[in-house]
Amino acid sequence: MLFSRATTKGCHLANASLVTTRSFSSTRIQKADFTHAVIGAGAVGLAIAKRLQQVEGASVVLIEKHGIVGSETSSRNSEVIHAGLYYGHDSLKTKLCLQGKQMMYDYCSRNQISHMNCGKWVVAQDDSQMGELQKVHEFASSIGVPVRFISSEEAKRREPDVRAQAGALESPSTGIVDSHGFMQFMHGEFEELGGTTALASPVTRIQAPGPNNKDWRIWTAPPSASEPQPFSPSAAVPEVEGEDTSITAETIVNSAGLYACGINNMILPKERHRTPFYAKGTYFSYSKSMPKPKTLIYPAPVPGHGGLGTHLTLDMSGRVRFGPDVEWVDSPNDLAPSPNNKRFAAALEDIKSYLPGIDTEAVALDYAGIRPKLGKLGAVASGKGFQDFYIKMEKGYNGFVNLLGIESPGLTSSLAIAEEVYEILYKGGKASKSMGRQEEISEPGKEFGTGGVQESF
């Protein structure tokens, strides 16, 4: 099977045709179709694909099951450029959030992608919450992230509608970004660099390299009428009848977000299988123009909580929204905002604690996103059971970089995650002559997964 670069936008893998010849891995007799296959075109997969395509001689295929890029978690979040206040010393989240924040500001400024360095306040209403703010202050100061406590006079003057009974901590480097604009730009850049996008191509099966096959083989199903694709314009999703098709690649990157454990389980043996957990977050819209703070307002973090609390964020048009709360759900498709009265009442209580003048009648269910979790674990480092990002070249599986649990601050960190993956492939251990492959030997010729990603859970 032959494939093209830069011409498959909007095409299923099976529709691609060869227009360019690659020249890399001169020591290899048989060449793979691509140097790198990246599974999943969310913010993280897009950033990785773009970064790897920048390597001389690389040819990257970005494989996405939907008919458009970035239609899952990457377009269902708060669009906050996080400062890196919560994730503890020595965590990947802290390292990549700090690098990613800077890279995001630079990238957006350079490329006129809509963003705003609007800052954020974390507010405390009692002594115990103030204790949490003290911890955040101490931690942020220790890693060089600017934060400062605001006096109550200053708080009243700058944000008269915000209640911060016990204190407020300001994080001036926090901001917001138009996540869609960010992803569209990265996608355009990837394709201009010569990368190939295979849309409407759900990965169903993966075969690791072995004695009879030097490369990774990846099968994708044709888009089926039965698969729900609510965000895909029908014109971009050709209905292709027939068998799964496959391509080969020298390395493979699992960046499948909520379905990343499924891809993991297609490749690794049973004892290394992962069970995904899903922490849904529902957002609430606000239809009145007042009160309308100019900065983001977060409650004090709760140790062990799956999220950062029902906060107030703004989008690029200045629209106020609240959320997300935390609700453990069983399915990655459970995306309808939860109309549960108890949860709604709890969210309103949270919001009223820092914005007492809110008109609760104007608060309504908006949308929901789901955090990909690896357990019922906390989002912040204080408290037990913190979940860090998992980004690794899998031992015994040469050329397989596995990304799991890429929850918040994944959007902020996306460009830094891409750099991390590049480093793992090209600079970690003994790099082989071939494109970013280490010299470890894969478990020979094993095939995992048969009937689609979800069945592999």
Ligand X SMILES: Cc1cc2nc3c(=O)[nH]c(=O)nc-3n(C[C@H](O)[C@H](O)[C@H](O)COP(=O)(O)OP(=O)(O)OC[C@H]3O[C@@H](n4cnc5c(N)ncnc54)[C@H](O)[C@@H]3O)c2cc1C
Run of H or E including 351:
helix 341-354
Return the number of the residue (209 or 409) whose C-beta is nearest ligand X: 409
The correct pick among 3, 16, 22, 45 for binding ligand X (CB under 6 A) is 45
Q: Is the Cβ of residue 322 or residue 397 nearer to ligand X in the bound state?
A: 322
| From 118, 164, 199, 258, residue interacting with ligand X (rule: CB under 6 A) | 258
* Residue located via tokens 């970005």: 62
- Report the distance separating Cα 367 and Cα 240, nearest Å: 31
Binding residue (CB under 6 A) for ligand X from 53, 412, 438, 442: 412
Using the minimum distance from each CB to ligand X, give the nearer residue, 218 or 355: 218
Is residue 249 a contact residue for ligand X (CB under 6 A)? no
For ligand X, the binding residue among 99, 408, 434, 438 (CB under 6 A) is 408
Asked whether the beta carbons of 374 and 277 are under 8 A apart, the reply is yes
- The pair phi, psi for residue 392, each rounded to 5°, is -150, 145
Taking the complex as a whole, the smallest distance from the CB of residue 359 to ligand X amounts, in Å, to: 24
> For 274, which DSSP code?
-
Of 255, 295, 382, 442, the one binding ligand X by CB under 6 A: 255
- Least CB distance to ligand X at residue 262 (A): 7
Q: How far is the CB of 12 from ligand X (least distance, A)?
A: 11
C-beta closer to ligand X: residue 257 or 301: 257
* Positions in 201-230 near ligand X (CB under 6 A): 202-203
Residue 433 CB, nearest approach to ligand X (Å): 30
Q: Which of residues 346-385 bind ligand X (CB under 6 A)?
A: 369-371
Identify how many contiguous H helices and E strands the chain contains and give both numbers: 8, 21
295 touching ligand X, by CB under 6 A:
no
Distances (CA, A) of 239 to 9, 62, 143, 199, 219: 15, 20, 51, 12, 17
Q: Which helix (H) or strand (E) holds 135?
A: helix 127-142
Q: Which of 12, 50, 82, 205 binds ligand X (CB under 6 A)?
A: 82
Distance CA 250, CA 217 (A): 9
Report strand pairing: 390-393 vs 60-63. Answer: unpaired
Q: Is 274 in the site for ligand X (CB under 6 A)?
A: no
The residue within the footprint of ligand X, chosen from 256, 261, 365, 416 (CB under 6 A), is 256
Under the criterion CB under 6 A, does residue 411 sit at the interface with ligand X?
Answer: yes
Coil vs helix vs strand at 450: coil
DSSP for 38-68 reads EE--SHHHHHHHHHHHTSTT--EEEE-SSSS
Shortest separation between residue 86's beta carbon and ligand X, angstroms: 12
Q: Which two tokens stand for residue 268?
A: 């690794």
Pick from 72, 170, 388, 394: which binds ligand X (CB under 6 A)? Answer: 72
- Applying CB under 6 A, the span of 60-68, 84-92, 164-172, 418-426 interacting with ligand X comes to 60-68
Q: Which of residues 388-407 bind ligand X (CB under 6 A)?
A: 406-407
* C-alpha 21, offset from chain centre: 32
Nearest Cα neighbor of 417 from 87, 45, 41 is: 45
Burial class for 282, CB neighbours closer than 10 Å (0-12, 13-18, 19+): buried
Q: Cβ of residue 127: shortest distance to ligand X, in angstroms?
A: 28
What number of chain residues touch ligand X (CB under 6 A)?
Answer: 40
Site of interaction with ligand X (CB under 6 A): 39-45, 63-66, 71-74, 77-80, 82, 202-203, 255-259, 281, 324, 369-371, 406-412, 453
